[in-house]
Amino acid sequence: MKKHNFNAGPSILPREVIEETAKAVLDFQGEGLSILEISHRAKYFQPVVDEAVALFKELLNIPEGYSVIFLGGGASTQFCMVPFNLFEKKAAYLNTGVWAKKAMKEAKGFGEVVEVASSADANYTFIPKGWTIPTDADYFHITTNNTIYGTEILEDFDSPIPMVADMSSDIFSRPIDVSKYAIIYGGAQKNLAPAGVTFVIIRNDVLGKVSRYIPTMLNYQTHIDNGSMFNTPPVLPIYTALLNLRYLKAHGGVAAMEKKNIEKANLLYNAIDNSKMFVGTAQKESRSRMNICFVMKDEYKQYEEEFLKFATSKGMVGIKGHRSVGGFRASCYNALPIESVQALIDCMKEFEASKL
């Protein structure tokens, strides 16, 4: 049976990217060696990193003066790496969910943290509005897509102080104005590559301004100066990221991805809004295109488990909602075909018709 992969992360990648990765695991570029057993210093690997960086810059239209680096440690390590490198006296955070809160927790270890706004009281069902960024903070941190709650910031704010964004789950899903950001980071396993590599895009001039000692591995400058080769980088995930970036370029880049992502999200949200049984959890103006969260209305709650079984029997994978929201979450990353969204909608309609 065909599987429809709605996993939240690690998540779906284009089939041809996976097949190309498999080939490289057996024989990397006809060298008679697996990519798993070559040195990252070998002549074959440097071009992989160089091309991946170049494609980041090209696809995201990254201006001059920025560096792109690949690290280990996941987005979670960035929660402390950002303050290590930027925090002098005070930082400001927009609290839009568990990931934002975890980032704030790490920053608090460095000094005063201002929570600019929060939707915690409403279980993070919306992106707060009407807040102002304090001009005396060292940086302002946002989480553009809240993977767990299905809310998303779809504009690139103006910020009077350096803006840092966790884009783990929506990078490459739409064109962004990188010039509005000082740092953009993310774990790659949502929309770019398999788990194991973290990307960081940094405006070079924000570094070098803090007075503390920064541990070598946590200092962005170390990795910029060494082209992501200071220590052994996650070789295989970087290679798969490169293949996916090539795929993105060949398929029209981020503008084409955005068009497709809007189409998929509209299709599913319309089905949810027109359903008698299901209801979306995020407020409409904050809805994410990447993670679409919905539950059964109170009067039908008892059917949630049965629907999950039914959908699973029809090939749906990974649609169980995060435990802090409940219900269902359909993650619709770039690689998810519109046919999978349609298959899920058919499933919802068939189930609803059988009960009402």
What is the contact surface with ligand PLP in residues (CB under 6 A)?
A: 9, 74-76, 99, 143, 147, 166, 168-169, 187, 190
Which is nearer to ligand PLP, 76 or 204 (by Cβ)? 76
Q: Which residues lie below 8 Å from residue 300, measured CB to CB, with a gap of 6+?
A: 277, 355
Position closest to ligand PLP via CB: 187
Nearer to ligand PLP, 166 or 352 (CB): 166
Backbone angles phi, psi at 75, to 5 degrees: -60, -30
Cα 116 from Cα 280, distance rounded (Å): 26
Active-site entry in 2, 3, 90, 99: 99
Strand-pairing partners, residue 142, are 165
Nearer to ligand PLP, 181 or 278 (CB): 181
Q: Which is nearer to ligand PLP, 21 or 143 (CB)?
A: 143
- What span, in angstroms and rounded, lies between the C-alpha atoms of 73 and 75? 7
Burial of 342 from C-beta contacts in 10 A (0-12 / 13-18 / 19+): middle
Give helix then strand counts, H and E, for the chain. 9, 14
Q: How many residues does the chain have?
A: 356
Q: How far is the CB of 184 from ligand PLP (least distance, A)?
A: 12
Shortest distance (Å) from residue 300 CB to ligand PLP: 29
Exactly one of 138, 166, 170, 320 is catalytic; name it: 166
Q: How far is the CB of 53 from ligand PLP (least distance, A)?
A: 20
CB of 203 to ligand PLP, least distance (A): 20
Give the pairing of strands 145-146 and 151-152: antiparallel
Q: What are phi and psi of 156, to 5 degrees?
A: -95, 100
3-state secondary structure of 184: strand
Q: Does the annotation count 138 as an active-site position?
A: no
Which one of 138, 170, 190, 320 is the catalytic residue?
A: 190
Write down the least CB distance from residue 151 to ligand PLP, Å. Answer: 11
What separation, in Å, do the N-terminal and C-terminal C-alpha atoms of the chain show? 28
Nearer to ligand PLP (CB atom), residue 171 or residue 268:
171
- Whether 166 sits among the annotated catalytic residues: the reply is yes
Say what the alpha-carbon torsion angle 12, 13, 14, 18 is, to the nearest 10 degrees.
-120
When the beta carbons of 125 and 168 are compared against ligand PLP, the nearer one is: 168
Measured from the CB atom, the residue of 171 and 277 that comes closer to ligand PLP is 171
190 is catalytic: yes
- At its nearest, how many Å lie between ligand PLP and the CB of residue 143? 5
DSSP single-letter state for residue 320: B
- Contact in structure between 257 and 332 (CB atoms under 8 Å): no
Ramachandran sector of residue 248 (left: φ over 0; alpha: ψ -120 to 50; beta: rest): alpha
Report d(CA 140, CA 114) in Å as an integer.
Answer: 9
Which strand (E) or helix (H) includes residue 145?
strand 145-146
What is the amino acid identity at position 121? D
Q: How far is the CB of 9 from ligand PLP (least distance, A)?
A: 5
Active site residues: 99, 166, 190
